[in-house]
Amino acid sequence: MQKVKIITDSSCDLDIDYLNEIGVEMSPLVTILEDGDFLDRVEITPGEFYKKLKNIKKLPTTSQSTPASFYKLFKEAIDNDMEVVCIAFSSKLSGTYQSAIIAKEMLNNDERVEVIDSLAASVGQGLIVEKAAFMAREGKNKDEIINEVIRMRGKMEHIIGVGSLDMLKLGGRISASQAVIGNLLSVKPILHFVDGAIFPLDKTRGKKGLIKKLIQILEEKGEDIKSNRIGISYSEDLEFARELENEIKEKLGIDNILISEIGSVIGSHVGPSTIALFFIRK
């Protein structure tokens, strides 16, 4: 019997069916739209979200997972004689990690529950969750899993090609004129994570330019890229993700790639046509 239950939140951007397949429980964040509040990946799929986005006048907002949601998942695992490793969305971007900490406090800080700030998001967080789940299924103990999560957390690279300048404009991050000029020139900002927070890294033009830049960064910064798992997340444009995947396979000889669609919470900030690459850095 599996002795460690892996718990995460919906910002890992892994499909619910896949999480169920690998034995992971998920606490959803909330996406707030003009027509209501929706539990990410539970009450609104990525496809439904991007369809709604085409007609919005007001920028979506998001809300963290609740302590009550985490408490329920923790309690169920403990009642089934399991220990818990909870891998939460970066505390620099959301209060979800703090909600999980509160849930642990509601259980009198039960030592069987460990809550870890992933300092990651989307499939960067997802790759950590996936590895922890695989270890749990192999019968690794809680300490072994925690050590690997912390190791991966410290080396997980997030490179994000933002697809929608209009979302950045609506969010007040760039001006309307910058968005218009950027769209005309097909400029794509490239962002990255530093200690769990997002910072500008570079910019490029067009899909071809972005794919070339992402592959260049992966080749320069990636550790043992032919052995370590690579992650790709995308919003709405699966063809774009497949094109990046094929280029990585062809140019770098990498086959171990996980692709997943960005959900409504992360998508509320990056918009459609975003592509992101995740890997263990040197």
| CATH class, 156-280 region | alpha beta
Position 200 scores a pLDDT of 81
- CA R_g for the chain: 19
Position 179 scores a pLDDT of 45
* Among candidate residues 258, 281, 266, 279, the one with its CA nearest the CA of residue 133: 258
Q: Fill in the amino acid letter for 175.
A: S
Q: Fill in the amino acid letter for 42.
A: V
* Among candidate residues 86, 129, 115, the one with its CA nearest the CA of residue 278: 129
CA distances from 160 to 10, 95, 213, 227 (A): 18, 22, 11, 22
Could you read off the pLDDT of 229-252 as tens digits, one per residue? 999 999 999 999 999 999 999 999
Position 46 scores a pLDDT of 97
Position 188 scores a pLDDT of 76
Predicted TM-score of the model (pTM): 0.93
| CATH class, 4-29+64-153 region | alpha beta
Q: Do domains 4-29+64-153 and 156-280 have the same CATH topology?
A: no
* Among candidate residues 109, 131, 110, 112, the one with its CA nearest the CA of residue 120: 131
Measure the CA–CA gap between 115 and 267, rounded to whole angstroms: 25
For residue 201, the Cα-to-chain-centroid distance in whole angstroms is 18
Q: Angle at the Cα of 181 (from 236 to 239), degrees rounded to 5? A: 20
Residues of the chain with pLDDT under 50: 173-174, 177-182, 184-185
Measure the CA–CA gap between 173 and 80, rounded to whole angstroms: 46
**Which tokens belong to 233?**
């997340």
CB atoms inside a 10 Å sphere around CB 200:
10
Could you read off the pLDDT of 200-226 as tens digits, one per residue? 888 888 889 999 999 999 999 999 998
Position 176 scores a pLDDT of 53
**Which tokens belong to 136?**
């749990």
Scanning 138-197, the segments in alpha helix (DSSP H) are 142-153, 165-170, 176-184
All residues at 6 or more sequence positions from 56 whose CB lies less than 8 Å from its CB, including other chains: 33, 34
Q: Please report, for the chain, the start and end positions of each structural domain, with discontinuous segments joined by +.
A: 4-29+64-153, 156-280
